[in-house]
Amino acid sequence: RMGALWRLLGYLKPYMHRLIGAWITLSISGALMALIVSTVKPLVNEVLLGGRATPVTAAETGGSGPDILTRVQQWLPLDSLADWAMDHAFVQVPLLIVVIFVVRGFFLYFGQYHTIKAGASVIRDMRTELYEAVAYQSLGFFQEHPTGTILSRILNDVQRLQRVTTVVLADLVRVGAMVPFLILTAFYHEWKMSLVAFVALPLLGYPMIRLGRRLRRAATASQEHMALVANRLTESVTGVKVVQGFGMESYEVRRFHEAVGRMLRADLRAGRAQALSPAIMELLGACVGGALFAIAGLYIARQNLDPGNFAVVLFCLGLLFMSIRRLNALYAEIQNALAAAVRIFDMLDREREIRDLPDAQPLPPFSSEIRFDQVSFSYGDERVLKGVELTLRKGETVALVGSSGSGKTTLANLLPRFYDPTEGRLLIDGRDIRETTLASLREQIGLVTQETVLFDDTVRNNIAYGRAELAPEPVQEVARAAQAHDFIQSLPSGYDTMLGERGTRLSMGQRQRVTIARALLKDPPILI
């Protein structure tokens, strides 16, 4: 888990200059919050008690020197109306608080904004890297990982990280920067009472550590069930014709309900751990606060404690308690994010089964023949092809005929290296295709799949896939060759008609013709 955390933090390196600036401004805002707390002393002694508080020397209490208003009066020698205002605490304190909050708000805004900007950039980088890792995997990878699982990793798991690297990170820096200034302020004003409180303060960290492991386990289970829910949803939506054709809507609803129920139970386990933590913290905080009030009351009665100093300590402790509660909530979110990070890095680290060898060379233009040399292939323990010998010469049209499951599609998938043979070699012009680069191999192959694959884009962009800048003439030429031009012209916007998801606005035959046109536009020497 710590490895995943350090790896996640590694994504912040390119944006460290922005984060350093954000941390400096947030630290300043934390110091200003401690300054605001210091105004409590004159507010209590001069305004609430009207100056009736019994003077207590610093030597008697181990407390602070001059309060913040005394220092302001020393720094700002004023006269007339300003003199009057500086002599009256009920005017001074509100003005000072407003000024400090205005300045603090400025630093707080820029600090949080730049932290969130850096975190959002990290998520963009990570989501792109994860998608790239998935895009280059072999077909075997997609057989092992259902579509819903992959979507859950890229969307849901990364989304959990997004909050941690933006809002949570900003809050972590803001609260973390404020805590040391509050501690220093409390000890500066009254170190003895602060010492009593801070001896017990570490107890508040108990829920964070004790319940963190339980929360992380529950979060992992919740994310796994989320992947199952996404898979159920993907299956039922993409297979809606079969679902409705067989009248299985209620069956699919039950399956989805069961998957969501399992996710709910995992979420509730995480919720119990997350809800228990603040309850324990509040109980411990109440015990510490009660003991502190009892001791302070005794000292004030004996005139050994300045009420203003005690009020400052009390406010510092209150803010510290709220800060620790916030840190506890942030810790819980970090545990959720770590569970997601482990799953993301597992997919990122998945070794590509089909990749270029270190010494792979570009494949020269196809000129002679394709040869399957004693090719065998197995899906796990299930052997599909055994010792296939086949030669395909340039200019030939060859059809593979056989019963279902005899290996026709598998044999075709070996040519563009969607899989590699378990045994034997596949040669193009005498060169083993495993010794050539994937890009140069697939550049010479056009593919019309058994299942039509169209994208939610215009007809033109589906035919000119990846080459939107192409002129209209070659697109229309291949459409005519695939006998698709006439029905395309009859569409509402012709070649600029959006096809919808998976090309659902076209009939099955029309989709097939568009995919043929796409393959013809590539004009490859090898067509599958």
DSSP assignment of 306-367 = -HHHHHHHHHHHHHHHHHHHHHHHHHHHHHHHHHHHHHHHHHHTPPPSS---TT-BPPPPP-
Q: Name the average pLDDT for the chain.
A: 78
DSSP state letter for 528: -
Percent of the chain with pLDDT over 70: 78
DSSP state letter for 497: -
pLDDT value, residue 82: 42
Distance from C-alpha of 351 to C-alpha of 391, rounded to nearest angstrom: 32
Distance from C-alpha of 384 to C-alpha of 406, rounded to nearest angstrom: 7
Q: Residue 203 above 90 pLDDT?
A: no
Q: Amino acid identity of 74?
A: Q
Distance from C-alpha of 146 to C-alpha of 356, rounded to nearest angstrom: 25
| Residue whose pair of structure tokens reads 């056009």 in the numeric block | 446
**Comparison of pLDDT for 105 and 92, the residue scoring more:** 105
Q: Which of 144, 130, 176, 138 is nearest to 341 (CA)?
A: 130
Q: Using one digit for the tens of pLDDT, what is the confidence trace for 3-45?
A: 777 888 788 888 888 888 888 888 888 788 877 777 777 767 6
Q: Using one digit for the tens of pLDDT, what is the confidence trace for 438-470?
A: 989 988 988 887 777 788 888 888 888 888 778
DSSP state letter for 422: S
DSSP state letter for 466: T
Q: Which of 467, 476, 483, 470 is nearest to 516 (CA)?
A: 483
Q: Is the pTM of this model over 0.85?
A: no
pLDDT value, residue 211: 63
pLDDT value, residue 157: 81
**Comparison of pLDDT for 414 and 236, the residue scoring more:** 414
pLDDT value, residue 126: 87
Stretch among 74-78, 334-338, 416-420 having the lowest mean pLDDT:
74-78
pLDDT value, residue 60: 47
Q: Residue 177 above 90 pLDDT?
A: no
pLDDT band at residue 262, thresholds of 50, 70 and 90? Answer: confident
Stretch among 165-174, 303-312, 419-428, 486-495 having the lowest mean pLDDT:
303-312
User: Cα 254 to chain center, whole Å?
Assistant: 30
Q: Which of 306, 441, 428, 294 is nearest to 368 (CA)?
A: 428
Percent of the chain with pLDDT over 90: 12
Q: Within 136-205, where are the H helices? A: 139-144, 147-151, 158-163, 169-189, 191-200
Query: What Å distances lie between residue 426 and 19, 64, 487, CA to CA?
Result: 52, 85, 40
Distance from C-alpha of 191 to C-alpha of 188, rounded to nearest angstrom: 6
pLDDT value, residue 331: 77
| Residue whose pair of structure tokens reads 């508080």 in the numeric block | 53
Q: Which of 451, 453, 456, 452 is nearest to 501 (CA)?
A: 456
User: Cα 416 to chain center, whole Å?
Assistant: 34
Q: Using one digit for the tens of pLDDT, what is the confidence trace for 106-147?
A: 888 888 888 888 888 888 888 888 888 888 888 778 877 777
| 29: enclosing H helix or E strand | helix 16-38
Residue pair 449/397 in contact (Cβ under 8 Å)? The answer is no
Average pLDDT (62-78) is: 50
**Comparison of pLDDT for 310 and 76, the residue scoring more:** 310
Distance from C-alpha of 303 to C-alpha of 280, rounded to nearest angstrom: 35
pLDDT value, residue 519: 86
Average pLDDT (417-431) is: 92
pLDDT value, residue 2: 64
In whole angstroms, how large is the CA radius of gyration of the chain?
Answer: 35
Distance from C-alpha of 431 to C-alpha of 363, rounded to nearest angstrom: 8
pLDDT value, residue 377: 92
DSSP state letter for 431: E
Stretch among 111-120, 159-168, 210-219, 430-439 having the lowest mean pLDDT:
210-219
**Comparison of pLDDT for 54 and 472, the residue scoring more:** 472
Residue pair 10/126 in contact (Cβ under 8 Å)? The answer is no
Average pLDDT (359-364) is: 91
DSSP state letter for 429: T
Structure tokens at 284: 């411990």
